[in-house]
Amino acid sequence: MDRTRTRARAAPPRKMRIRAYERKPAAPPQLFSNAWERFLRPAVDAVHQSQPVPHSLELLYGHVHDIVLHRNAPALYDALRRACDRHIAARIAQLAALSPSSEHVFLAAVHAVWHTYCTHMLRIRQIFLYLDRTYIVHAAQPDARSFWDMGLLLFRTHFSSVATVQQNTVHCLLTLIDRDRDGQTVDVALMKNLLLMFTAIGTYDAAFEKPFLASTDTYYRNESRTLVASQDVPTFLKHAESRIHAESHRAVRVLDPSTRNPLISTVEKRLVSDHVVTLLDNGFSSMCDQHRKHDLKRCFAVLSRASDHMPADSRAPNELMKSRLIDYVKNVGRAIVMDKSKDPEMVQSLLTLKARLDDLVNFSFDGTEAFNMAVNFAFESFVNARENKPAELIAKFVDSILRTGNKGFSEEQLETTLDNALTLFRFIDGKDVFEAFYNKDLAKRLLYDKSASLDLEKSMISKLKHECGPQFTAKLEAMFRDVDASKDLMQSFKTHKLSKTSLSHGIDLNVYVLESARWPLSTQPSKVKLPQSLMDCQEVFKKFYLTKHSGRKLAWQYVNGSCRVKANFPEGTKFLELSLYQTIVMLLFNDADELSYSEIADATGIEELPLKRTMLSLACGKARVLLKRPKGPQVDAKDSFVFNKKFTHRQTKLKINAIQIKETVEENAATTERVFQERNYQIDAAVVRIMKTRRTLQHAGLLAEVFDQLRFHHKPADVKKRIESLIEREYLERDENNPQAYHYLA
C-alpha cells in the first residue's frame, strides 16, 4: 500500500494538451471560382444541353461539398441560379418563336421543354445535393428556396413573362377540349401532363381555370340554345345528362380536382337552369301523358341539379315541376270527371290514373312526399269540380265489388280494389252523397242476399269507420245488426205455435224487421193487395212480433219482398226467384189465362210505374213467363198478358228478380233528394249554432262562418233560403233598421 502511494508521487501523470493552430486554416485561394468555372459550370451546361457530364459525379459532388464547407454557399447558389435562368430563358424563347397553328405539335413542344427541364433539374440537384440539403435548409434568406422550388419559380417566371407562350398554351388546350366535346379524338395524356405543369408552377387557377370556365360557359350556352330549339325534350335531357356525366369524367381524367365543382355547375347552369321553364313547357305534360317513366326520372334528376343555379326571380325547378304535375293531373282528371258519357267508367279510369301517377311519383320522382301531395291535391280539386256525381259513382263502384259476381278475384285483390276506391273517396268533399248511396246499396245487398262476403262487408265498414269516424258508420253497422236480429227472430218464430199457420200454406216465411230510421225505405203506406196466403202469413207474423215487442207498429215494405215460386209449365216445372210484385202478378194467372193491364192493376194495387216495370220484366225480359199482346218493347195500359204455356228454359231455377236490384231513376232521385234534405238540416243547424253564439251578425259574416263549418259544397243561395226559413220559424229575425243584419231569437 505504502509502496504504491510513494511510486505515484514519484511520477506525476502526464497531461495531454490541445493547442490551437498557429495559422488559421484557409480555403485554397480561388477555390470557388476555380471549382465553378472549371468543373461545375461545364457540368450544369452539359446537363442542360442533355450531354454527358464531362467529370465524374463524385468529383463534382466533392467540389460542391468543399465550396459549402468553405462558406461559399450563397455565391454558389447564386451562380447556379443564374446558370439555370439563362438556360430556361433560352428554351422559352424558342417556344415563343414556335407557331401555335397545330395545337398538338405546339403543346407537345411545350410539354417536351417542361419534361426535359424537370429531368435536368433533378440531375443538377443530384450534383448539388449537399448545397440543397445544408445551405438552403439552414439559410436565413427568405428567397432561398429548395432547389426544386427554385427551378419551378424560374420556369414560371419565364413561361408567364413571355405572354404569348402561356396564352398560346392555354388557347391550344381550350381548343383541344372543345374538340373533345365535339367528339374528336385528342391526346388526353398530353393535356393532363400540361395541366399538371400548370399546377406545379402554381398558375393553374389564374392562367387556365378562369379562361377554361369562361370557354365552357360559352360553349354550352351556344350548344343549349340550338339544341333546345331543335331537339325534343327527352332527347335534350338525355343529352344534358350525358354532357354532365362527360364533364365530370373530364374533371377526373384531365383537370385538377378543384375544378370539378365550378365546371359542373357551369354546365348545369347553361344546359339546364337557363332552360327549365322552356323544357317544362314543351315536354313535361307529354312525358306524363305517355308515361315515360325513365325520361321523367331523368327530367327530375337533371332539373333538381339545376336548383342551385336558378335565377333569383325564378321558382325552384322542383316547385315548377310540381305545379306542372298538378296542372297535368287536373287536366286529365277533369276530362274524366266532366265527361258525362263516360260516367260508367269514371271510377275505373280514375283508379287507373291514380295507380299510374303513384307509379310515376314513386319511380320518377323518388317517391318524394311533396309530389305525392301534389297528386293528391290535384285529385281533390278535380274530383270536386263536378258536384255529387263522383261520390255517387264511387259508392256504386264499391257496391259492384261487394256484390256477388266478382268471381275470379281473390279476397286480397278485392280488398286492394276497395282500398283504392277509398283513396278516391278521401278526396271527396261531399261524403254525405257517398254515404247515402252506400246506404241504399248496402240495403239492397242485405235484403236480397247479394252480398259477396260478410267479411268483405265488415272490412269495408271498418275502413270507412277509420276514415270518417264511428258516427259515419253507426247507421251502416246498425243495418247489419237488424239483419242478424231478424234471423234470430225467425228462429224463435219457427218454434212458436203461431208459425203453424204459415206452414199450413206450405210457405217458408222469412221476415226482415228493420228499424225504419236506419234504412232508406219509403214511408208511404202501400196499397198493394197481397194474395190471401201471404196475407195470412203476414198477419201471423205481425201477431207474433207484437207480442214480443209491444208499443211498436210494422210498416210492410212490399217493394223489397221476394219469393220463390214453383211454376208448373206444361213443358216442365220451374222454380222462379221473383220479386214480391212479380209474384203477386203471377199468382193472378192461377185463375186466368189472359188478363188485361187494367185488370192486373186493379187486382194487385201496384202503382203504375212499378207495375209497368214488373210487367216488362215478366213479359219482355230474357225469360218470358208471360206473353204480351200485342208484342212490343213497351208496356201500355191497353196491353193484355197471357200465361206462357210454351215456356221452356234450360235451367230449372230461374232468377227473374234482377229488376229489384237495379237502381231506378226514381230511387236515384230519392237518394239525392235525401242528401239535399239532410244538407238543409245541416245548414239550419250551422246557422242556428253560429247565431246562438253571436246573437247578432251581418249577412256576409254569417255566410262566411257557415262556409267554414260545412264540409260539403253549397251555394250561398241555398243558405239564404235556409235563413229565410229560419226567420219564418222564428229562430232569427231581421234587424228593423238594417236588413243585412240578423238577431238570434232565444
Partner 1 sequence: MKLTINKVRLVAAWTWDAGDDACGICRNAFDGCCPDCNIPGDACPLVWGNCKHPFHLHCISKWIGAQSSEQQKCPMCRQDWKFEARK
The binding site for partner 1 (CB under 8 A) comprises 447, 471, 474-475, 478, 505-519, 521, 531, 533-534, 537-538, 541, 545, 547-558, 560-569, 575, 580, 583, 586-587, 589-590, 643
Q: Is 363 exposed, middle or buried (0-12, 13-18, 19+ CB in 10 A)?
A: middle
Helix axes of 431-447 and 470-494: crossing angle, nearest 10 degrees: 10
607 versus 718: smaller Cβ distance to partner 1: 607
Looking at beta carbons only, is 554 or 670 nearer to partner 1? 554
Q: Which of 64, 67, 41 lies closest to 53, judged by CA? A: 41
CB of 618 to partner 1, least distance (A): 12
- With cell 383537370, the residue in question is 255
Q: How far is the CB of 450 from partner 1 (least distance, A)?
A: 13
CB of 578 or CB of 732, closer to partner 1: 578
Nearest of 654, 598, 596, 603 to residue 624 by alpha carbon: 654
Q: Which is nearer to partner 1, 571 or 724 (CB)?
A: 571
Question: Do 518 and 482 contact (CB within 8 A), yes or no?
Answer: yes
Query: Do 131 and 68 form a contact (C-beta atoms < 8 A)?
Result: yes
d(CA 430, CA 444): 22
The span from the CA of 261 to the CA of 410, in Å, is 55
268/577 with CB nearer partner 1: 577
Q: Which is nearer to partner 1, 350 or 625 (CB)?
A: 625
To the nearest whole angstrom, how small is the minimum distance from the Cβ of residue 724 to partner 1? Answer: 23
How many CB atoms are located within 10 Å of the residue 313 CB?
A: 5
CB of 602 to partner 1, least distance (A): 19
Distance CA 265, CA 271 (A): 10
Kindly report each contact of residues 93-100 with a partner whose C-beta sits within 8 Å and lies 24 or more positions away, as own/partner.
93/162, 95/162, 95/165, 96/162, 96/164, 96/165, 100/168, 100/171, 100/172
Minimum CB–partner distance for residue 310 and partner 1 (Å): 55
**Measuring CA to CA, how many Å separate 220 from each of 166, 223, 224, 248, 559?**
25, 5, 6, 14, 77
Cβ-based nearer residue to partner 1, 341 or 471 = 471
Closer to partner 1 by Cβ: residue 73 or 618 = 618
Residues sharing a CB contact under 8 Å with residue 664, sequence separation 6 or more, in sequence order: 613
Contact assessment for residue 227 and residue 215, using Cβ atoms and an 8 Å cutoff? no
* CB of residue 484 to partner 1, shortest distance in Å: 13
Question: Minimum CB separation from partner 1 for residue 504, in Å?
Answer: 13
Nearer to partner 1, 250 or 444 (CB): 444
Kind and range of the H or E element at 461?
helix 454-468
Q: The C-alpha cell of 617 is what? A: 220484366
Q: How far is the CB of 299 from partner 1 (least distance, A)?
A: 52
Going from the C-alpha of 435 to that of each of 455, 464, 471, 698, the distances in angstroms are 20, 10, 11, 34
In the complex, minimum distance from the CB of residue 559 to partner 1, in angstroms, rounded to a whole number:
8
Closest approach of partner 1 to the CB of residue 392, in Å: 24
Rank residues 22 and 591 by Cβ distance to partner 1 and give the closer one.
591
Polymer length of the chain? 746
Q: What are phi and psi of 655, to 5 degrees?
A: -110, 115
Nearer to partner 1, 398 or 587 (CB): 587
Q: Residue 409 or 575: which CB sits closer to partner 1? A: 575
Pairing of strands 594-596, 626-629: unpaired
Can you point out the beta strands (E) in 141-284? none
Tell me 207's DSSP state.
Answer: I
CB 603 to partner 1: min, Å: 14
Give me the least distance between CB of 555 and partner 1, in Å please: 5
> Minimum CB separation from partner 1 for residue 663, in Å?
17
Q: How far is the CB of 502 from partner 1 (least distance, A)?
A: 9
The rounded distance, in Å, linking the Cα atoms of 207 and 169 is 10
Minimal CA–CA distance to 687: which of 675, 678, 699? Answer: 699
298, 238 in Cβ contact below 8 A?
A: yes
Nearest to partner 1 of 370, 592 (CB atom): 592
Closer residue to partner 1, CB minimum distance, 356 or 475:
475
Rg (CA), the chain: 51
Query: Rounded distance, CA 461 to CA 476, Å?
Result: 8
Least Å distance, CB 543 to partner 1, is 13
Nearer residue to partner 1 within complex by CB, 212 or 438: 438
Residue 133 or 494: the one with the smaller Cβ distance to partner 1 is 494
H-helix or E-strand containing 697? Answer: strand 696-698
Q: Which of 112, 214, 114, 118 shows the shortest CA–CA distance to 171?
A: 214
Kindly state the smallest distance separating residue 729's Cβ from partner 1, in Å.
Answer: 14
Residue whose C-alpha cell reads 205455435 in the numeric block: 497
Q: Are 193 and 146 in contact (CB under 8 A)?
A: no
DSSP 8-state secondary structure symbol assigned to residue 563: E
Pairing of strands 653-655, 572-579: parallel
